[in-house]
Amino acid sequence: MLALMPAPDTAVDTTPPDGPQPDNLAEAGVYRTTKEGFEHSLVVLARGHVCWLMPGVAGYRLLVESTAVERLRAELARYDRESVDWPPPVAAETPGGARLELVTPFAWALAVLGVFRGQWRHPEWADAGALDPAAIFGRGEWWRALTALFLHADESHLVTNLFAGVFVFATVLSLFGRTRGWLLLALGGVAGNLAVAALRYPGPYRSLGASTAIFAALGLLTGRAVRRVARSGRPHRWRSFLGPAGSGLAVLALYGAGVPPVDALAHATGFVAGAVLGFAAVRPMAVGDRRRGN
């Protein structure tokens, strides 16, 4: 129960309507505004005690039962310590006015369309370029980890990956830069394919499609966001990890899971590879940026 009394210049009845009488109450804290008082009163309520917020000369007094005042003061002090710099300030993810990089993602889409057209004329391309653990680790055909990213099984597979790829790649390039972004995307996609091939080896397995690189891009964005939180220097920043990490994993679970022919394992390895690269690729933070929380 929380009772908020009127402002100091208004006549008030300082006797609580029910519960302990005034001589059984003690002051647990004094706060400048009603907002601060309400926030701290929630701590008291969460501990199962009643309280009253009443105006005083120095501010708003939080009154509690005298038998519990010492314990509640300790809880309120702990709350104040843990609330320092929380919630963290929101930092802009892109430099002021940075444009979304769309030119090279559309060029990538045209290249993938060209490869798909070539597949119909030359069906052997899929056989020669698909991800095949036996061919990679048994015959040394390492190029398959890259070429498989440009091959697709059918039109629906192609369209889905093109639509998602253009926009998620554009976001990566806008944040990491064109050259570095494409390098990270290529490394993430290839690493994800090699990882899933290693996990499937020596059993029979074939896979193709750009989705491993697309989920590597999602991992890059997630890893970058987590690293920016990790290097911020804010107290209790571990709680901030839940935002970017949870969002990335939620998208992976929502769009990356499924029954065959969806290759959920390849999506997961691409995401993990991208997250590791994204975490490692964040540039060192300048002192001024760290103070601003950028």
- Judge contact between 184 and 240, C-beta under 8 A: no
pLDDT for residue 136 = 94
For 145-171, what is the mean pLDDT? 92
Look at residue 33 and tell me whether its pLDDT is greater than 70: yes
Go through the chain and tell me how many residues it has. Answer: 294
- Judge contact between 261 and 211, C-beta under 8 A: no
Domain ranges of the chain: 2-82, 103-292
pLDDT for residue 255 = 78
Place of tokens 């939620």: 250
Residues 212-224 have pLDDT tens digits of 999 999 999 999 9
Residue 17: left if φ>0, alpha if ψ -120 to 50, beta else—which one? alpha
For 225-239, what is the mean pLDDT? 65
Q: Does domain 103-292 have CATH number 2.40.50.140?
A: no
- Judge contact between 61 and 32, C-beta under 8 A: no
More confident residue, 207 or 89: 207
Bridge partners, residue 2, by sequence:
51
CA torsion angle for 70, 75, 78, 79 (degrees, to 10)?
Answer: -140
Question: Is the fold of 2-82 the same as that of 103-292?
Answer: no
Residues 150-162 have pLDDT tens digits of 999 889 889 999 9
For 133-143, what is the mean pLDDT? 93
pLDDT for residue 8 = 40
Q: Does domain 2-82 have CATH number 3.30.70?
A: yes
Bridge partners, residue 3, by sequence:
52
Look at residue 232 and tell me whether its pLDDT is greater than 80: no
Report the candidate in 291, 247, 266 with the shortest Cα–Cα distance to residue 132: 266
Place of tokens 């190029």: 143
DSSP 55: E
Q: E-strand spans in 160-250?
A: none
Whole-structure pTM value: 0.63
The residues, ordered by sequence, that sit 6+ positions from 100 with a Cβ below 8 Å of its Cβ are 170, 171, 174
Cα–Cα distance, 258 to 278 (Å, whole number)? 25
Look at residue 146 and tell me whether its pLDDT is greater than 70: yes
Out of 46-55, 59-68, 246-255, pick the least confident.
246-255
Res. 289 pLDDT band, cuts 50 70 90? very low
CA torsion angle for 269, 99, 182, 205 (degrees, to 10)?
Answer: 30
Helix (H, G, I), strand (E, B) or coil at 147: helix
Burial of 254 (0-12, 13-18, 19+ CB in 10 A): exposed
For 38-58, what is the mean pLDDT? 89
Report which secondary-structure segment, H or E, holds 65.
strand 60-65
The separation between the first and the last C-alpha atoms of the chain, rounded to the nearest angstrom, is 41
pLDDT for residue 284 = 59
